[in-house]
Structure 1
Amino acid sequence: MPPNVVDTQNAEELTEYLEQLDLKKLVRENKIYAVYPEVYYPPLKPYDHKDPGLLADPKKASIYDAAEKIFNLTPHIGTEVHGIQLSNLAEQQKNDLALLVAERGVVFFRDQDIRPKKSLELGRYYGPLHIHNVGGHPPNVPEILTLQIEHTDPKVRERLSYRSPGDGWHSDISYELQPGGLAFLKIDTLPGEAGGDTLWGSAYEAYDRLSPAWKKFAEGLKAVHSGDVHRETARLTGHPLRREAPDNVHPVVRVHPVTGWKALYVNRGFTRRIVDFTRRESDAVLNFLFDHIETGADFQVRFKWTEDTVAVWDNRVTYHNPVYDYFGSGLRHGYRVSPSAERPYFDPNGKSRREALAEKEAAEAKTKS
């Protein structure tokens, strides 16, 4: 029997359970607590996504004025914010956070006191929470995905033994009709002084680094994103597939609804083929784009976690890759909350990030002169 299971039909008991739920304490007491219930969820229904970033202050003053320190980790992606607790954000701060993350791709907050109940409330502000179709979750809380690799499990070791580090690059649940938008990941337990980093890459800059001819070519393409990896995970692990993992077609270049910037939207984890291409043509195009993304060290950030850090990233304009270099060194644990967003689309009036920032800089210079 999993620890601390309550009757989910009793709303009062469930609320009290969430108030008390401390996953950091739970994992250290029980080591493995995630459950994989044999339930079935119906297909996701389309909905009209209203991005809170559209309500943001362009200067993001509610965050910049309240923070002790804010600095960029690289020129193109990654920002660290000190002195703000995500558990206590005001509404305008939530809106401004959406814009900051849309612009910078991923934003990090260290020494966070936020726990599951507040994490769920914060995530719901940005969209309906996605329930993972095969991953483990805390008892009674399917909207939280437990991130803990059980590397002593022979099935897990076998599955990872055929995996190259580059295979881990992905954008969360891109196979859904309306894939993930913002994602919130708290890492509260680390294996030791080193190991368990995560890399993120900028899909904006990946697009910008293509030649003009490649950009024009890519903007006319659509690609199939498949949930086959989750179907295969269920088969290999014996865990139930709680919702069918679908295949969906998305544009190879999408535009973010808040920034209006173009992003290269393919990833090795879930993108399988280019629509209307032969297999050889499709493989040639995708392999080039995957290599372009994965070797783009100048538009990636590698983040070294400290315990109780939260990363907030935008799946629409980033890719990420966890580094499994810590097996045998100790426990690494975290949990993720994943709101869904709009169906990916291409807007020919969109601009590249570089174009938009150059125009903004020119306008500011003109105003000052």
Structure 2
Amino acid sequence: MAPPHTEDTLIQSQGSLVHRVEQLDLKHIARKQGKYIVFPETKYPELESFEHHDPGHKADPAKNSLYNNAEKIFDLTPHIGTEVHGLQLSQLTDQQKNDLALLVAERGVVFFRNQDITPHQGVELGRYFGRPHIHNTFGHPEGLPELHIIYFDENSSTKGYEHLSFADIWHTDVSYEVQPAGLTFLKIDTLPEVGGDTLWASGYAAYEKLSPAFQKFLEGLEAVHSGQHQIDEAVAQGRPVRRRIVESIHPVVRTHPVTGWKSLYVQPYFTRRIVGLSPKESTAILNYLYQLIATSADFQVRFKWTEDSVAVWDNRVTFHNAIFDYLGSGKRHGWRVTPQAEKPYLDPNSKSKKEALQEKKA
């Protein structure tokens, strides 16, 4: 664990908060100080393409480095969600990281409780799984732009949430990037007395819910993903915008590079339209798919956080939705590291998860 935060580690200099990154105890700062993120006027070049090497390719199919060393590992639902007890993410070997990449690719999201991993360790862990994403408009702790901070408390505004349909905020992280997120690591260290759960849904199972004819139709389509609304929000609040490009085109159905399974890859928060269709056609199809994601409880998992829990999920094959039922009644704080992965693609020879597992069993 990093040394606990003290006032000596924080120095006020020319209006900015200067600190030693390795000594950050964000949990303590959030509880004692409240909001602490900064919005520097830094401008970044557009993100360059890179060749992503998924560590899941080096995994042991049996994932013995995890199963032989954990106290227990168990699935939370048939389609999505697994919980691991007795392992610290801060102490994983390289083989355990490889096996974790495969486990998350297969199960969508994996949960760890009572984790001691620090923000700095979290960034380093994220680097193993890809290039850590630096957000275009969000704030971050001074010196750690790779961290995305979750912070809401009793004084947070509830404006815009009173009449919000949470069916509309299912998403995969930063899908508007040319190379969107792969795995994401989220640690929640402070919770309200009740509420603040998070939902995940399986893109594999969503694809399998569709009829074969509809699956085939969707596999020939691409969709536009945009983060323009995040830029508009930043500009309206006087915050800096660090890059220009906020829109990409991705396949509606994508293939996971490690499992080889097909997953639905559209969601209401960032997907805007299907290329080549009329606005009415695009809206009708996307609304049907969004409703499928939001209402299919049979391939969702709801996680009730405990302090210092970490969720590790694969954005390529899941959707998630944070539940803001606690606003105005409690404090919730945590941090997230989001490595980028490959540019989404569809391998025409790939199969659904169900087909692949049936063939393997046979």
Paired residues of 1:226 and 1:245 also in contact (CA < 8 A)? no
* TM-score, normalisation: structure 1: 0.92
Give the 3-state SS of the residue equivalent to 1:325 in structure 2.
coil
Q: Which whole-Å deviations, capped at 9, do the CAs of 1:95-134 have from their partners, x for residues lacking one?
A: 0000000000000000000001110110000111100111
Match of 1:347 in 2: 347
Paired residues of 1:180 and 1:341 also in contact (CA < 8 A)? yes
Rounded Cα–Cα distance in structure 2 between residues aligned with 1:344 and 1:93: 25
In the alignment, is residue 172 of structure 1 matched against residue 178 of structure 2? no
Match of 1:240 in 2: 240
Higher strand share: 2
Alpha-carbon spacing, 1:6–1:58, altered in 2? closer, same or farther (3 Å): farther
Rounded Cα–Cα distance in structure 1 between residues aligned with 2:73 and 2:209: 27
Q: Which whole-Å deviations, capped at 9, do the CAs of 1:211-254 have from their partners, x for residues lacking one?
A: 11110111011000011121122133322122225111000000
Shift of 1:260: 0.1
Shift of 1:6: 8.8
Letter in 2 for 1:189: T
Shift of 1:165: 1.3
Shift of 1:151: 6.4
Rounded Cα–Cα distance in structure 2 between residues aligned with 1:150 and 1:138: 17
Rounded Cα–Cα distance in structure 2 between residues aligned with 1:243 and 1:161: 31
Match of 1:118 in 2: 121
Rounded Cα–Cα distance in structure 2 between residues aligned with 1:5 and 1:290: 47
In the alignment, is residue 90 of structure 1 matched against residue 96 of structure 2? no
Paired residues of 1:230 and 1:245 also in contact (CA < 8 A)? no
Give the 3-state SS of the residue equivalent to 2:32 in structure 1.
helix
Rounded Cα–Cα distance in structure 1 between residues aligned with 2:144 and 2:169: 26
Match of 2:189 in 1: 188
Rounded Cα–Cα distance in structure 1 between residues aligned with 2:293 and 2:110: 20
The one of 79, 85, 96 equivalent to 1:76 is 79
Q: Which whole-Å deviations, capped at 9, do the CAs of 1:259-278 have from their partners, x for residues lacking one?
A: 00000000101000000111
Give the 3-state SS of the residue equivalent to 2:186 in structure 1.
strand
Rounded Cα–Cα distance in structure 2 between residues aligned with 1:132 and 1:200: 22
Please show how residues 245-284 of structure 1 align to structure 2 within 5 Å: 245-284=245-284
Alpha-carbon spacing, 1:326–1:308, altered in 2? closer, same or farther (3 Å): same
Shift of 1:38: 1.6
Q: Which whole-Å deviations, capped at 9, do the CAs of 1:175-221 have from their partners, x for residues lacking one?
A: 000000000000000011x2000000000000011111110111011
Match of 1:11 in 2: none
| Structure 1 residues not aligned, in runs of 5+ | 8-13, 363-369
Rounded Cα–Cα distance in structure 2 between residues aligned with 1:163 and 1:127: 34
Rounded Cα–Cα distance in structure 1 between residues aligned with 2:355 and 2:306: 35
Letter in 1 for 2:141: P
Give the 3-state SS of the residue equivalent to 1:186 in structure 2.
strand
Rounded Cα–Cα distance in structure 2 between residues aligned with 1:81 and 1:21: 26
Q: Which whole-Å deviations, capped at 9, do the CAs of 1:286-312 have from their partners, x for residues lacking one?
A: 111111111111000000000000000
Alpha-carbon spacing, 1:163–1:241, altered in 2? closer, same or farther (3 Å): farther
Paired residues of 2:191 and 2:332 also in contact (CA < 8 A)? yes
Letter in 2 for 1:4: L
In the alignment, is residue 36 of structure 1 matched against residue 39 of structure 2? yes
Alpha-carbon spacing, 1:166–1:262, altered in 2? closer, same or farther (3 Å): same
| Structure 2 residues not aligned, in runs of 5+ | 1-8
Rounded Cα–Cα distance in structure 2 between residues aligned with 1:331 and 1:168: 21
Rounded Cα–Cα distance in structure 2 between residues aligned with 1:321 and 1:307: 19
Shift of 1:160: 3.2
Shift of 1:68: 0.1
Rounded Cα–Cα distance in structure 2 between residues aligned with 1:26 and 1:117: 15
Please show how residues 89-238 of structure 1 align to structure 2 within 5 Å: 89-149=92-152, 152-153=155-156, 156-161=157-162, 163-192=164-193, 194-238=194-238
Match of 2:5 in 1: none
Paired residues of 1:60 and 1:100 also in contact (CA < 8 A)? yes
Paired residues of 2:153 and 2:329 also in contact (CA < 8 A)? no
Alpha-carbon spacing, 1:133–1:17, altered in 2? closer, same or farther (3 Å): same
Match of 2:317 in 1: 317
Match of 2:287 in 1: 287
Alpha-carbon spacing, 1:162–1:226, altered in 2? closer, same or farther (3 Å): farther
Paired residues of 2:56 and 2:98 also in contact (CA < 8 A)? yes
Give the 3-state SS of the residue equivalent to 1:217 in structure 2.
helix
Rounded Cα–Cα distance in structure 2 between residues aligned with 1:82 and 1:255: 30
Match of 1:359 in 2: 359
Rounded Cα–Cα distance in structure 1 between residues aligned with 2:243 and 2:234: 11
Shift of 1:353: 0.4
Shift of 1:18: 2.4
Paired residues of 1:102 and 1:258 also in contact (CA < 8 A)? yes
Rounded Cα–Cα distance in structure 2 between residues aligned with 1:355 and 1:275: 28
Identical pairs, percent = 60
Give the 3-state SS of the residue equivalent to 1:289 in structure 2.
helix
Paired residues of 2:218 and 2:253 also in contact (CA < 8 A)? yes
Rounded Cα–Cα distance in structure 1 between residues aligned with 2:287 and 2:205: 18
Paired residues of 1:5 and 1:139 also in contact (CA < 8 A)? no
In the alignment, is residue 59 of structure 1 matched against residue 29 of structure 2? no
Shift of 1:162: 5.3
Match of 2:299 in 1: 299
Higher helix share: 1
Using the TM superposition, name which of 78-87 and 163-172 deviates more. Answer: 163-172
